[in-house]
Amino acid sequence: LLLDLDGTLLDDSKALTAGSRGFYEAHRSSLGDKTFEAFRARWRPISGRHWARIVAGELSFEDQPRECMREVMGVQFSDAEADAAFEPFLQSYEEAWCCYDDVAEFMRQTKGLKKIAVTNGQRAAQRAKMQRTGLLADISDLVTPEDVGAWKPDPAMFHNALNQLGVAPNEAMMIGDDYEKDIAPALVMALQTFWIRRGVNDLSEALAVIRS
């Protein structure tokens, strides 16, 4: 099994909301946003724009939150100052890391299948999430852009994972929540797929497909 992490196994939306709230509460006197909702509406495009710069090779993973801090707070922080400003977000975000409720049973039911995570996140951060939530007990390793020099949906990410598992594409399944980045490239490579859409289906349905 090739498994995406955020939005598939890990409730990253919940963690991001917690991180944003922790940051807002810590800095609300310095922010111009009168409500948390107003702050989040301003924060999301800033974070997304600087994340796109990582993918484009313009920023490192470490510099992305620093640039976000400088823009959202309107201060030309040094790197150390930006890291300190971001700390309330990071602390609240990490404290909220958790798996979706159906993950434990999915892992139990698929105990005999080799698994690897395929993620566009930073290796150290994603591995820390897996450690905190217990996923490392069930998933052997992870493939990240830092390992491959490419990002999903690049086939190199999937080839790397298949090579680590020692299986052919038609012997593996990709499970992910992003059709464009997880499912479409896997289909082109002739992997089986399960597109999980939280709120629409869950991993119990993926189990049914695996058994069929």
User: What does the pLDDT look like over 59-76, one tens digit per residue?
Assistant: 999 999 999 999 999 999
Using CA of residue 55, residue 56, residue 57, residue 58, what is the dihedral sign? negative
Radius of gyration of the chain from its Cα atoms, rounded to whole angstroms: 18
pLDDT (tens digit per residue) in 151-199: 999 999 999 999 999 999 999 999 999 999 999 999 999 999 999 999 9
pLDDT (tens digit per residue) in 7-30: 999 999 999 999 999 999 999 999
Say how far apart CA 59 and CA 192 lie, in whole Å: 34
Token pair belonging to 72: 């959202």
Using CA of residue 91, residue 92, residue 93, residue 94, what is the dihedral sign? positive
Determine the pLDDT at residue 158. Answer: 98
Cβ atoms 7, 178 nearer than 8 A: yes
The yes-or-no verdict on residue 85 having pLDDT over 90 is: yes
Determine the pLDDT at residue 212. Answer: 82
The yes-or-no verdict on residue 47 having pLDDT over 90 is: yes
**Average pLDDT, integer, range 128-152:** 96
Residues 6+ apart with CB under 8 A from 23: 86, 88, 89, 92
Mean pLDDT of the chain: 96
The yes-or-no verdict on residue 122 having pLDDT over 90 is: yes
pTM of this prediction?
0.93
Determine the pLDDT at residue 117. Answer: 98
pLDDT band at 110 (very low <50, low <70, confident <90, very high): very high
